[in-house]
C-alpha cells in the first residue's frame, strides 16, 4: 500500500525503575509491542531508559553497566519479530570511557549506537562526573562489540535510512538540543528530515514553555520533523521532578504533545510528512546555500519501515480551510488585521509613489469588490485623502439582482465615497449588433462582453479623473482562470490578488465587526454581502429575481479549490495525496466522488489558464501562497503535465 510520504513515529515514556534494568526491559518491550501494533515505524524512548536517568554514582558500578548491556540484548531478543525501528537509551563503554548513548535497532539487530555530545553540567545534574562526550571519539566513530553483537558503529555522526523510504533520520540526546550549534543542524543539512531526541528533562517553573518553543523553532529552522521524548514517572525525585514532557513537531507545528505528570507508561504518536519537508527544503534558498558533505556522516541503510494503512487512519489533523485563521478569536483578530494592513500598505505605497489621489473601483455588491473597496477606503484614510476621491462605479447588466445592486449602492453611501451608476446594457447590446451575436444565446461571448465593457468603462473613467483602477479579482479566481481575459482580469493595482476566496469572506466579516463597527448600518450591509451567493451575475436572474448563475455550482466549492491550491502550491502534493488529505479534511461533508470531480477540474483549469496569470497587474502578496509570474509562480503557458493530469483522472475510480 502507498505511504504517500508519511511515516508514523512515536515518543514512548515507560514507567521508570531506577537502577532496575530488568523491570525497565519489561516496560520498554510492552510499549514497543503496543506501538508496533498501531502501525508505528519509529519508536523513540527516553534518555538512559534502560537504567533510568537518575542513577547518579551508580553509573560507576560494574554491575549496573553489565546489567544494562544484558538488558539491551534482552530488548533486542524480545522485539526481534517487530518491523518497527526502536531508539532507546543506555550507557555504553569503550576503552575505559562511559558514554550516554542511543541504541538504534530493528528486528533484533543493532544498527548503530549514537553517544551524547553535549553533556549536562549545571547545578541540577553534572553528567561529566560519569560520562564522556562523543567528541573524545574519532570523527568517524569506532567499532565495538555490544550486547552480544559485533562490529557496531559507536559515533555521533550517523544517519539512518530505511530502505524504500524517503526518510533519513538522525539522533541527538537531550542537552545536545540546547547547544549553540546542535548536532541536529549538521544532521539536517546532511539529509535528515527527522531528528529524534532521547531526553531526561526535569520540570521547573516556565521550563516547559521554553522547551516547547525550542523544539518548535528547531523543527522550523531545520525544515524537519522532531521527536522529543523525555522520561517521566519513576525517575528519582530526590531533588527534581520529571513529567514525561514529550513532543512531536513538524516544521514548527505541534503534531502531538504528551500529557505531563502521568503516573504510568504512556506514549504519543503522529504521522510526519517527509514529502512536505523535502519540498520545503527544495524551495528554501537559504537551506540549500548551506552544505555538509555526506562523507562526514555514516549513513546506515536499515530495514524498511512496516506497512501502515494511512488511507484508513491518518494520525494528523488536516485543516479543511488552510487559508483561514483557525485559532482563538484573539489570534484571528491579529491575522485579519495583519492581512488587511498589508493590503492597505501596498495600495497606499503605490498611490503615494505615483502621486495619485483618486481611485476608481467597480462595486458589484459581491465579496471581492467589497473587500477591495474597504481596502481602498482605509488606504485613503491612511494617506489623509478624502474618501470622496474614491469613485465607486456600479454597472448593472443583464444578470444584476436587486440584492447586490442595493448592497453596492448602500455601501458606497455609508462609507462616504463618491459613486455613480452606469448601465452596461445599451453598450453591450450595441456590441452584440456590431459582432453579430444573438443576445438570446448566453454563452461565453455573452458573458465576456459584459465583463470587458465594465473594464473599459472603469479604465476610461480613471483616465478622465486622473485615478487608477483598483482590481477586485482574488487568488482563487486566478488559480482557476475564472476571469475574463482583459476584463475583470485587468486593473492598475490588484489589492486582492493573493487573497483566496475563503479568506475574502472572513476578512469582510472581520472588517464589519472591527474596522467599521462604529458604523452599524455599514456593518449590516457587509454581513449581508458575506451571506450572498457568489456569482458574476452575467446571465439573467430567475423568475423571482434571485441569482441564477452561482459560481460554485459551475466550477465547484471554493473551499475545495482553496484546499487543492494550498496543498498543490505550498507542499507540491500530487492529486493522489491531495485526494487522501481532502477526504480526511472534508469527511462527512463531501463524498469521494464529489471531491474527485472538482479535483480533476482544478488540475485541468490550473494548468490550462497560466496565460492569464502571466500578465496580471501588480498587487501585494499577503500570505505564503501567491501566483505572481514575477516571483511566486513561474510556469510556461504551454505546459504539458501528463503526470498530474493523468493522476487526477484516476481519482474517484476504483483501484
Residues 228, 364: one domain? no
Domain boundary among 302, 321, 354: 302
CA atoms within 13 A on the CB side of 205: 0
The predicted model gives 176-195 an average pLDDT of 95
Does 314 map to a domain?
A: no
Q: Are 488 and 604 found together in one domain?
A: yes
Query: What is the C-alpha separation between 62 and 70, in angstroms, rounded?
Result: 12
Q: Is the dihedral of CA 45, 48, 51, 52 positive or negative?
A: negative
Please spell the DSSP secondary structure of 32-94, one letter per residue: HHHHHTTT-SEEE--TTTTT-GGGGGGGG-HHHHHHHHHHHHHHHHHTTT--SEEEEEEEEEE
Q: Is the pLDDT of residue 164 over 80?
A: yes
Residues 489, 382 within the same domain: yes
Look at residue 295 in the predicted model and tell me its pLDDT. 56
Tell me the pTM. 0.91
Lookup: cell for 45 = 524512548
pLDDT tens-digit readout, 105-127: 999 999 999 999 999 877 567 89
Segments forming the whole domain that contains residue 572: 329-649
- Known catalytic residue at 250: no
Told to judge if 584 belongs to the known catalytic residues of this protein, a careful annotator would answer no
277 and 376 share one domain: no
- For 571-601, how does the pLDDT look when each residue is reduced to its tens digit (9 = 90+)? 999 999 999 999 999 999 999 999 999 999 9
The pLDDT of residue 527 is above 60: yes
Among 67-76, 120-129, 396-405, 420-429, the minimum mean pLDDT is found in 120-129
Please enumerate in sequence order all residues whose Cβ is within 8 A of that of 150, keeping only pairs 6 or more positions apart, or say none: none
Query: Residue 46 falls within a domain, yes or no?
Result: yes
Q: How many helices (H) and strands (E) does the chain have?
A: 20, 20
Give pLDDT tens digits for 612-653. Answer: 999 999 999 999 999 999 989 999 998 876 666 677 677 756
Same-domain status, 295 and 401? no
Question: What's the pLDDT band for 2 if we cut at 50, 70, 90?
Answer: confident
**425: closest CA among 554, 537, 550?**
537
- Averaged pLDDT for residues 125-131: 89
pLDDT tens digits, 32-56: 999 999 999 999 999 999 999 999 9
Tell me whether residue 324 is in a domain.
no
The more confidently predicted of residues 124 and 517 is 517
d(CA 562, CA 564): 5
Region 17-27: mean pLDDT is 97
Tell which of 258, 283, 302 closes a domain: 302
pLDDT at 654: 45
* Shared domain check, 399 and 546: yes
pLDDT at position 644: 66
Quick one: pLDDT at residue 59? 95
More confident of the two residues 228 and 205: 228
The one catalytic residue among 27, 74, 101, 116: 116
Strand arrangement of the beta sheet that strand 418-421 belongs to: 418-421, 390-394, 359-362, 468-471, 493-494
Boundary of a domain, candidates 283, 302, 321: 302
Same domain, 348 and 216: no
Residue 195 forms part of a structural domain? yes
Same domain for 333 and 294: no
- 212/260 same-domain check: yes
Q: Answer yes or no: is 226 within a domain.
A: yes
Report the percent of the chain where pLDDT is more than 70: 97
Question: What is the spatial distance between Cα 527 and Cα 398, in angstroms, rounded to a whole number?
Answer: 25
- Is a pLDDT exceeding 60 seen at residue 485? yes
* Beta partners for residue 106, in sequence order: 85, 109
- Provide the pLDDT for residue 655: 42
Q: Spell out the alpha helix ranges (H) of 246-358.
A: 274-283, 285-289, 329-353
Candidate list 27, 47, 187, 250, residue with the active-site label: 47
pLDDT, tens digit, 9 for 90 and up, residues 269-306: 999 999 999 999 998 877 777 766 555 899 999 999 99
509 belongs to a structural domain: yes
Hey, which residues does 250 pair with through a beta bridge? 225, 253
Q: Is the pLDDT of residue 541 over 90?
A: no
In a domain, 423, yes or no: yes
Grid cell digits, residue 532: 450572498
Judge if 298 and 335 occupy the same domain: no
Q: How many distinct structural domains can be found in the chain?
A: 2
Residues 6+ apart with CB under 8 A from 7: 41, 42, 165, 167, 194, 271, 272, 274, 305
360-375: average pLDDT: 97
Proportion of the chain above pLDDT 90, given as a percent: 85
Residues 554, 411 share a domain: yes
On the 0-12 / 13-18 / 19+ scale of CB atoms within 10 A, 230 is buried
| Residue 311 maps to a domain | no
Give the pLDDT score at 400. 92
Instruction: Compute the average pLDDT of residues 534-562.
Output: 86
Residues 280 and 333 in one domain: no
Which residues, other chains included, contact 152 with Cβ-Cβ below 8 Å and sequence gap of 6+? Answer: 110, 112, 113, 143, 144, 145, 146
Catalytic residue among 101, 174, 249, 336: 174
**Can you give the pLDDT at residue 553?**
87
pLDDT of residue 642: 63
Whether 231 sits among the annotated catalytic residues: the reply is no
Q: What angle do CA 362, 365, 371 make, to 5 degrees?
A: 70
Assign residue 114 the CATH number of its domain: 3.60.110.10
CA distance 309 to 271: 11
The CATH number assigned to the domain holding 432 equals 3.40.50.620
Confidence at residue 537, expressed as pLDDT on a 0 to 100 scale:
75
Amino acid at each position: 500500500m502507498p505511504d504517500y510520504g508519511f511515516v508514523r513515529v512515536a515518543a514512548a515514556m515507560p514507567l521508570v525503575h531506577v537502577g532496575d534494568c530488568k523491570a525497565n526491559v519489561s516496560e520498554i518491550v510492552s510499549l514497543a509491542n503496543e506501538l508496533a501494533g498501531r502501525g508505528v515505524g519509529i519508536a523513540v524512548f527516553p534518555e538512559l531508559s534502560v537504567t533510568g536517568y537518575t542513577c547518579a554514582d551508580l553509573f560507576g558500578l560494574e554491575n549496573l553497566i553489565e546489567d544494562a548491556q544484558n538488558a539491551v540484548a534482552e530488548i533486542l531478543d524480545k522485539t526481534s519479530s517487530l518491523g518497527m525501528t526502536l531508539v532507546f537509551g543506555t550507557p555504553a563503554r569503550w576503552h575505559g570511557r562511559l558514554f550516554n548513548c542511543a541504541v538504534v535497532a530493528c528486528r533484533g539487530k543493532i544498527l548503530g549506537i549514537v553517544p551524547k555530545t553535549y553533556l549536562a553540567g549545571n547545578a541540577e545534574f553534572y553528567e561529566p562526573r560519569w560520562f564522556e562526550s562523543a567528541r573524545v571519539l574519532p570523527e568517524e566513530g569506532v567499532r565495538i562489540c555490544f550486547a552480544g553483537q559485533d562490529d557496531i558503529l559507536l559515533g555521533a555522526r550517523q544517519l539512518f535510512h530505511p530502505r524504500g523510504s524517503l526518510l533519513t533520520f538522525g539522533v541527538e540526546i537531550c542537552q545536545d538540543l540546547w547547544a549553540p550549534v546542535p548536532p541536529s543542524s549538521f544532521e539536517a543539512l546532511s539529509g535528515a528530515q527527522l531528528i529524534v531526541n532521547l531526553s531526561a528533562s526535569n520540570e521547573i517553573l516556565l521550563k516547559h514553555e521554553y522547551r516547547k518553543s525550542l523544539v518548535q523553532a528547531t523543527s522550523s529552522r531545520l525544515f524537519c520533523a522532531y521527536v522529543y521524548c523525555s522520561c517521566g514517572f519513576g525517575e528519582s525525585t530526590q531533588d527534581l521532578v520529571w513529567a514525561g514532557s514529550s513532543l512531536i513537531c513538524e516544521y514548527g507545528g505541534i503534531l502531538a504533545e504528551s500529557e505531563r505528570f502521568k503516573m504510568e507508561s504512556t506514549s504519543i504518536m503522529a504521522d510526519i510528512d517527509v514529502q512536505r519537508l523535502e519540498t520545503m527544503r527544495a524551495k528554501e534558498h537559504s537551506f540549500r546555500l548551506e552544505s555538509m558533505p555526506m562523507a562526514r556522516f555514516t549513513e546506515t541503510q536499515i530495514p524498511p519501515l512496516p506497512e501502515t494503512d494511512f488511507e484508513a487512519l491518518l494520525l494528523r489533523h488536516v485543516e479543511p480551510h488552510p487559508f483561514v485563521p483557525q485559532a482563538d478569536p484573539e489570534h484571528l483578530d491579529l491575522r485579519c488585521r495583519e492581512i488587511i494592513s498589508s493590503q492597505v500598505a501596498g495600495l497606499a505605497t503605490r498611490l503615494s509613489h505615483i502621486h495619485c489621489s483618486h481611485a476608481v473601483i467597480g462595486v458589484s455588491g459581491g465579496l471581492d469588490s467589497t473587500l477591495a473597496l474597504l481596502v481602498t477606503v482605509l488606504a485613503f484614510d491612511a494617506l489623509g485623502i478624502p474618501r470622496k476621491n474614491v469613485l465607486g462605479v456600479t454597472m448593472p447588466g443583464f444578470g444584476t439582482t436587486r440584492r447586490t445592486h442595493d448592497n453596492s449602492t448602500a455601501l458606497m453611501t455609508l462609507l462616504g465615497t463618491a459613486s455613480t451608476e452606469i448601465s452596461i446594457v445599451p453598450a453591450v447590446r450595441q456590441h452584440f449588433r456590431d459582432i453579430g451575436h444573438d443576445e438570446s444565446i448566453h454563452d461565453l461571448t455573452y458573458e465576456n462582453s459584459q465583463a470587458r465593457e465594465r473594464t473599459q468603462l472603469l479604465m476610461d473613467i480613471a483616465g478622465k479623473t486622473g485615478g487608477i483602477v483598483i482590481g477586485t479579482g482574488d487568488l482563487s479566481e486566478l488559480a482557476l482562470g475564472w476571469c475574463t481575459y482583459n476584463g475583470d482580469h485587468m486593473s492598475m493595482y490588484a489589492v486582492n490578488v493573493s487573497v483566496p476566496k475563503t479568506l475574502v469572506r472572513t476578512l469582510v466579516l472581520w472588517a464589519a465587526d472591527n474596522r467599521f463597527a462604529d458604523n452599524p448600518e455599514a456593518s449590516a450591509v457587509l454581513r449581508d454581502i458575506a451571506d450572498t451567493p457568489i456569482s458574476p451575475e452575467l446571465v439573467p436572474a430567475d423568475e423571482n429575481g434571485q441569482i441564477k448563475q452561482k459560481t460554485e455550482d459551475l466550477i465547484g466549492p471554493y473551499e475545495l479549490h482553496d484546499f487543492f491550491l494550498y496543498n498543490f502550491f505550498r507542499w507540491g502534493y500530487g492529486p493522489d495525496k491531495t485526494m487522501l488529505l481532502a477526504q480526511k479534511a472534508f469527511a462527512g461533508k463531501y463524498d469521494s466522488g464529489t471531491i474527485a470531480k472538482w479535483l480533476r477540474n482544478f488540475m485541468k483549469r490550473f494548468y490550462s489558464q497560466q496565460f492569464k496569470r502571466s500578465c496580471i497587474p501588480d498587487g501585494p502578496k499577503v500570505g505564503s501562497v501567491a501566483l505572481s509570474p514575477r516571483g511566486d509562480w513561474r510556469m510556461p503557458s504551454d505546459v504539458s503535465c501528463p503526470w498530474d493530469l493523468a493522476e487526477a483522472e484516476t481519482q474517484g475510480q476504483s483501484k
